[in-house]
Every structure is written in C-alpha cells, then in structure tokens.
Structure 1
Amino acid sequence: MQNIKDSSIGEKPFYATAEHLEQTLGDPGAINQPGPSDGQLDKAGWPPPLSSFRESVELDEREEFPAPLYHALDTWGLQEYYVPAQYGGKLRRFDEVFTLVRSVARRDLSVAIAHSKTFLGSTPVWITGTRQQREMLSQRILNRESIALALTEEAHGGDLSATECQARKIHDHYLLSGTKWLINNATRSSTLCVMARTHVHEGPLGISLFLVEKEKLDHTSFHYLPKFKTHGVRGIDMSGITFEQSIVSEDALIGKEHHGLSPIFKTFQVTRLLRSAL
C-alpha cells in the first residue's frame, strides 16, 4: 500500500494554544486559597489565578465590567486570534479560536462575550470588506480596540429586514441616522459594523453594511444609550447608539450597496458556531 504523508505531522495541535492560555490564567477554582505570595507555581503546577469563579460572581453582582481579566486577555494576545494571519494576526483555523473562547467562558462568561464580540464585529469585513478596510481593522484589533456589530433595533429585534436606521447617499458620503439598540460593546468599541437602510424599498433589499470609525465622526452627531440591565452577564456593555446625521465616507461601505444582509448571513454561519463555546 502506498504510504500517504500525514500533513499534520510536526504541526501544533489546535488545542495546544488553549492549553497555554489555561496555564497562563491559572486555576479559577482556587477561590478560597490565596495564590503563593512569591508568584511561584502551586503544587498542581498552576500559577496563581488571574481570576477566579468567586471574583467573577462578585463582579457580576456589582454589574461591573470584568476589566482585570479582559485586559489580561489583551496582554496575553487573545485579540490576535481574531485577525487572519495574512493581516498580521494568528487566525488560521476556527477550532483554535473556538477552544480559546471556551477556556475564557468557563471562567467568566461576561468577559468571554465582551472580548469575543470583536471577532463577531470584524467577521463581515474579513468576508466582504476591501483590502483597505481589512488592514485598518486589523491594526485596530491588534492595538487592543473593541469592535462591535450594530444590527438590531428596539422596534424590530432580530428582524433585520425591517431595519429603520438610514444611510442617505449625498455625493461621496452617507448621512447615517437612527438608533441601534441592545448592542454589545456599543459604548466601549472604537469601530462598529452598522446595518442601515440605503433604499426606501421595504424588506431585505436596500439594506447596506458600513464600517463606522467613531473617531472620524463629529462627536455631536452621535450619542450612547444607557446600559441595559440584563439577567446574568450583568457586567457587559449591553447598550446602544444613536446617529444623528453622522457623516460616513462612501469608503465605509462593506461589500455592495443594498446587499448588506448577505455578508451578515455568512458571518452568522461562523459566529453562531462560536456561541456553542460560551
């Protein structure tokens, strides 16, 4: 029988990165035992935990954003696994980022949702965006900036075809007006993928997707909505944003005008799978 070379020989298994993250974060179950004061490994070989189940519960009860663990993940470099390798990141295979998010979620669901939201918010750009958009977004993510996906509205919930937020074309730019509600990281993010109607036709046609950089907007042309109180995961930034004639360059359009639902549905084919890691 002809020998077939195993292409996986010499490659690091997909779960090896998650094992490294587990070791870095420490044992979250060590909640009643203080870590070694000298920073040495404990008898099980784990470092002093960077977070614990007890701390996660306390933060949730205070409805406080889990900043310590969130920033620890940034320092470790989790955001690099949201960016494709060809754009300077480490995203090469889905099962690797899946196991990483699962390692975080078993410690603190709030921080897992808040941090991985950047993966969700950037995926439409990896699928349909221009090279310029991908390079810009890559730099923002690698610089530890949060990205949000602004799809839903209070009056319509998950019915994206009923989107009322409008983007009216004026020469070489759009005027963005409307409210996006119940958006994770709406306030904390630097950039959002925003779904807006670009044609008066009702239904799925006439909806477009825009990559909106907040720093490029007139600061008086948008404002945030208050944080929404949730049952569980109470520390996350679940809020909203209202645009009032915000000027957005035509270069911000993701994919084809009036065809914004297509990259979103493709995005969901990836990100819905990631939900099972939470």
Structure 2
Amino acid sequence: MTATVESLDALLGDPGDRANPLGHEAFLAADERGELPHAGRAALEACGLGAAFVPRELGGALGEMDALARLLRPLFGRDGALALGLGGINLIAAAPVWTAGSEAQRGHLANVLLNGGQSAGAYTELATGHDLVRSRVRATASGNGFLLSGRKEVINNVSRAHTVTVLARTGDGTGSRDHSLFLLDMDAVARDSVAFLPRFRTSGLRAMHLSGVDFRDCPVPASAMVGEPGTALETVLRAFQVTKSVLTSAMLGCLDSQLRVVTGFVRERRLYGASIGELPLVRSQLTSAFTELLISDCLATTACRALHLLPRQTGAYAAATKYLVPELVQDASDDLSVVLGARSFLRDGPYGTFQKHARDLPVASLAHMGATPCQAMLIPQLPRLAKRSWFVSGPAPTELFRYGTPLPDADLGRLDMTAAADDRLIGTLLAVADELNGDLRLGPLCRVLRAELAALRDACAALPPRERSPLTGPAGFRLAERYALLLAAAACLGVWWHNRHRADPFLTDDTWLTAALRRLTARLGHPVAPGADDTAVTDALFRELLSRHDALRAFDLVGRSLR
C-alpha cells in the first residue's frame, strides 16, 4: 500500500472523536507521557508511509516534492512528533543518500524504508550545533575501512533506526573538504562499539525520541562512505535544500490545525449578545493568521517545485523558505493566541491542541537547521544576485506555480550549494508587476515591491567585502530578511497570476493576494494606510475562513476536503 492524503485522513480518523486512538485527545495524553501512541506507529506502517520517501526509480512513491509536503501536512496537523519522528526524519536521513549515494547504498536504504524500517540522520553535535565544519566525530582509516569514534547528541530516533547517515571528520583542518558521509547499517555494526545515550527531553514535540549515540572505534566498511571522501558538507548542504523546502511546507499542517481550533471557538463564543466574530480585533487577528498561512504556502510550495524546475537556483529559495516561513507561522500562532486568550495556555480539553502546537512549532522549526544559518547562507549570495540577475533575468516557468501539473523527477545531483545568478523568481515578481501596473488595487503594491527591490540591489552592491560573509553584522541579516520577503511576494504573485484559470473562485480572486502583499510590504517597512478597502478585504477573508471551517476544508491554497 502507498500512502495518499486520502488514506492518511481515513487512518487518522475524526480528530474530535474521544474514542479515536489517533484523535486529538489521544495525542494530548501521549504528549503528556512523552511517548508516541502505539496506534500512530501502526497507522503509518499500515499506510506504507516509508514508500513516500523513496524515489520512484527505486520502487517508492517519491515524485513531486510539493506532493510529499502536502501528504505530510495531515500528520503535522495531528501531531508534529509523529510527523517528524516517524516521517520527516526518514527524509532528513535519506536525502544525502539519494543525492550522492552509490547504487548499492540507494538500494539498501530503499529496501529498509519500503519494508517499514526507520532511518536517522546524525549530522549535528550538541557542542557545535549547526556548525557542521566543527563536527568532532571522527572516521579514522583502518585496514579496508574506518573506525568511527565520538558522540552525536540530540538525534531524532537514532536508537530505533535501522540505518543512520553519519557526518564524520576525515581530515584535520577546518575547511569544507575535511568531512565525509557514511551510511551505517545498524543491524550489522558491532554492538560493543556503539552505545546509545540518554534521551533528551524538550518543551515541544515531547513525544519525539531525541537521544544520542557514542561511537567507540566502531568498524565501518569503506563501502559505507557516501560519495567521495571529503564531500560530506557539499552533499549535505545540497540535500538539505530538499528537507528545508518539504518539511517547512509540511509544517503548515500545525498552523492549519490551530486556525481550525480558533475559528471553531469564534463560531461558538458570544459576547454582549453577539458573536465575537463581529469584533474588528477578532476578525483582524484571524484573517492575519489566515493570510500568513497563504503566504507561507505560496513560498514553501514554490520552493518545493523549484527543486524540479530550477535546481540551480533552489539553494537561495530553500534557505529563504526555511528562514521566513517559521517566522510567519510563529507570528500567526501568536495572533491566534490573542483571540483564545487564557484558553491558549490550556493543555487539555478542546483547546489543548492549540497549546500543543504552540509548544511544538518552535522546536519543529529547528529541525536540522535553524533560521540564523539559513540567513547566513543567503548573505554571501546577495551581491552577486543583485549585480547579475535582478532586473536582468526573465520570469520562472509557468509550471513552477501551477499546482498539480506534472513535474519532471527531481535530479538532486543538479542542486548547487550556491544559487546561480539567474533569479527567476525575482524575474517573475518584475514581470507580473509590469502586467499589474495599471491595476487600481494591486498596482500601487507592485510599485512598492519594485522600488524595494531596486533599493535592495543598491544596498547589496554597497555592502563592504567584510560584510559579505556569514560573519556579517545586523545589516547583512536585514538584507537577507528583505530578500526573503521579496521572494515571498514573488511567489504570491506567481501563484495568483498563473492560476487565474482555475475553478476555485477564492484562489482566482485578487482579495487574498491583496492581503498578502499588504502584509509583506508592511514587513518591508511600507505599511498601507487603513481604508475602506482594507475592511472589505478583511471581511472577504473572514467569510472564506468560516466557509472552509464549516465545510471541513483545509485553510491552505488548495483547500482540500477533510471529510
């Protein structure tokens, strides 16, 4: 059986059913215990989720990356620990192997995942965090292989994994060629050469099993090395473009669930003889969160599809997505907590799910790479993009934005560590902005975006050489933030422009786009003065929100049925 969104929905069942072993109440209780419910493991095995992480040419179901993200959203909406602990971790561990592994390695890992096995990715260490260059675990040449020594801590599911992808030092320097990657068959390693470390407890994703592994001169065959010696950092940074895009997009299921809880509360709660939905503040907070979700979906899904269509540019798009989307989602969650008030702190009952996601989101957003490293990756690329691409490169292909249209299989070997100076997403912003220049509602917003891009180009060109590195000061990080916001605006414009033929009246109408661009221009420092049209936009979004809630439809761009 191959997992589909429909089969997952059927297995997960009604979240509000107290008798459902996979309902919200069951997951809240499991979260308090700090353990995943057995029914969750059984459900994922029954639906064949492992195949979703295996490329089609290896017998799996992994094709379109945005489809994988949408497959995982219901899992994140139910429980982030389940989604990451038994789902996303397999992608984190497998992506480098699909990128640079040998035929034998790819076949072995595919067999493990297709048969319900688990994999783990041991890249980071507690002392050095996301600074992979400073990793201390060492692989020393010995005979026909290597001896692996050192500790990897805070690794998801490592003590239960059948295979582990390990980044280890094979050189003595601090450069990019001093580390290699290994795929370990944990069923074959000498048991006395590996010790599993105690579990780490966290404030969010409490049921996720984070522990560590201590390699004690663990013998590793030479055939376990993934790719060429000294290429681990390059391989991992290319492969992480997949996980940054897919898992960030999938994480939107958490916000969708929170939005459903709060919209239901607004539907039921009355104050002063009327629904609290009549209060302007409540409408504003709800529609702001809805808009942040739509913006995030546009950017994250575009990054996923770019893996197929624009692999040489995806390095920048994936980093911007991994930085910006968690920030937007966190802001949306904060907006929704204002509506719930004190109820947002309850850990059980009908609002416990909201609080659980509020705890889970900050932890989930750190999975394998946090916001600061992603910004730092963008900064050195900005002057080159500003000089050679912005206002020069043409728009991205139409297929980048048309959800559901077939895509060629992603060739992960074509992914680059740094983006090519051919920024097609920014090219789309300029092309669509030109088309909308005369539009009374969208034209002024597009002109603000164009002016902001020109200002960003000049600021990047003026950046001193010492500031064009990850060690830059606050000014460099602010430039990366502005670029990410412009990419989000470009994604929104591209999605709306290239989906105007769809039957969905909400997606084809410019109301959501207007709200999205106003939010983004405000974040860029150009807020739009409130007016009558602002109220009309808020009211239209609020009606759509209630309609989707009552019809049991998701709140993202596709708005699939949850029945």
Equivalence for 1:208: 180
Deviation at 1:124, TM superposition (A): 0.6
2 CA distance for matches of 1:71 and 1:203? 44
1:1-278 pair list within 5 angstroms: 17-31=4-18, 34=19, 49-116=20-87, 117-276=89-248, 277-278=250-251
Measure how far apart 1:119 and its partner are: 1.6
Distance in 1 separating the partners of 2:211 and 2:237: 23
Contact 2:26 2:37 in 1 (8 A): no
Contact 2:176/2:234, CA 8 A, preserved across alignment = no
Residue 86 of structure 1 aligns to a residue whose secondary structure is helix
Residue 200 (structure 1) shift:
1.0
- Distance in 2 between residues matched to 1:82 and 1:108, nearest whole Å: 19
Match of 2:4, SS? helix
Q: Give the structure with higher Rg (CA).
A: 2
In 2, Cα distance between the equivalents of 1:58 and 1:246?
39
State the AA in 2 paired with 1:224. Answer: F
Q: Aligned equivalents of 1:194 and 1:19: distance in 2? A: 35
Q: Partner amino acid for 1:168?
A: T
Question: What is the distance in 1 between the residues matched to 2:41 and 2:66?
Answer: 21
3-state secondary structure, aligned to 1:233: coil
Helix, strand or coil: the match of 2:109? Answer: helix
TM-score scaled to structure 2, two decimals? 0.43
**Distance in 2 between the 1:129 and 1:82 partners?**
15
Q: Distance in 1 between matches of 2:129 and 2:54?
A: 29
Aligned residues: 247
Q: Which whole-Å deviations, capped at 9, do the CAs of 1:216-257 have from their partners, x for residues lacking one?
A: 211000100111010021111100000000000000000110
Between the aligned partners of 1:172 and 1:265, the Cα distance in structure 2 is: 28
Cα distance in 2 for partners of 1:252, 1:77 equals 27
- Greater helix fraction, Structure 1 or Structure 2: 2
Sequence identity (%): 34
Structure 1 residues 179-227: Cα deviation after superposition (integer angstroms, max 9, x where no partner):
0011001111111000000011123221000001112211000100111
What is the CA–CA distance in structure 1 between the aligned matches of 2:167 and 2:38, rounded to whole Å? 28
| SS of aligned partner of 2:151 | strand
Structure 1 or 2: larger strand share?
Answer: 1
Secondary structure at the counterpart of residue 113 of structure 2 = helix
**Contact in 2 for aligned 1:194/1:209 (Cα 8 Å):** yes
Distance in 1, matches of 2:6 and 2:207, equals 26
Q: Secondary structure of the residue that 1:193 maps to in structure 2?
A: strand
Q: Distance in 2 between matches of 1:217 and 1:20?
A: 36
Q: Distance in 2 between matches of 1:64 and 1:58?
A: 9
Q: Counterpart amino acid of 1:30?
A: D
Bigger relative contact order, structure 1 or 2 (CA pairs below 8 A, ≥6 apart): 1
Listed one character per residue, the Cα deviations across residues 28-84 of structure 1 (whole Å, up to 9, x for unaligned) are 1223xx4xxxxxxxxxxxxxx451111111001011133321221111111111111
Supply the distance in 2 between the matched residues of 1:20 and 1:144 (Cα, whole angstroms).
17
Q: Distance in 2 between matches of 1:220 and 1:134?
A: 27
CA distance in 2, matches of 1:173, 1:226: 29
Change beyond 3 A, Cα 1:169–1:128:
same
**Equivalent position SS for 1:245:** strand
- Inter-partner Cα distance in structure 1 for 2:4 and 2:194: 40
- Tell me the amino acid that sits aligned with residue 73 of structure 1: L
What SS does structure 2 have at the residue aligned with 1:157?
Answer: coil
Distance 2:238 2:15 in 1: 35
Q: Which runs of 5+ in 2 are unaligned?
A: 252-563
- Tell me the TM-score normalized by structure 1: 0.86
Shift of 1:118: 0.8
Query: Residues of 2 paired with 1:58 and 1:251: CA distance?
Result: 44
Moved more, 94-103 or 237-246: 94-103
Distance in 1 (CA, whole Å) between partners of 2:7 and 2:36 is: 25
CA distance in 2, matches of 1:20, 1:62: 28
Q: Which runs of 5+ in 1 are unaligned?
A: 1-15, 35-48
Which residue identity does 1:22 align to in structure 2? D
Per-residue displacement from partner, 1:249-271 (whole Å, max 9, x unpaired)?
Answer: 00000011011011111111110
* Whole-Å separation in 2 of the counterparts to 1:59 and 1:157: 28
Paired residue type of 1:169: A
CA offsets per residue over residues 6-45 of structure 1, 9 Å max, x none?
A: xxxxxxxxxx9313321332121223xx4xxxxxxxxxxx
Contact 2:137-2:150 at 8 Å conserved across structures: yes
Per the alignment, in what secondary structure is the counterpart of residue 220 of structure 2? strand
| Cα distance in 2 between the residues matched to 1:24 and 1:143 | 19
State the distance in 1 between where 2:95 and 2:37 align. 24
Runs of 4+ aligned residues of structure 1 deviating over 4 Å after TM superposition are: none
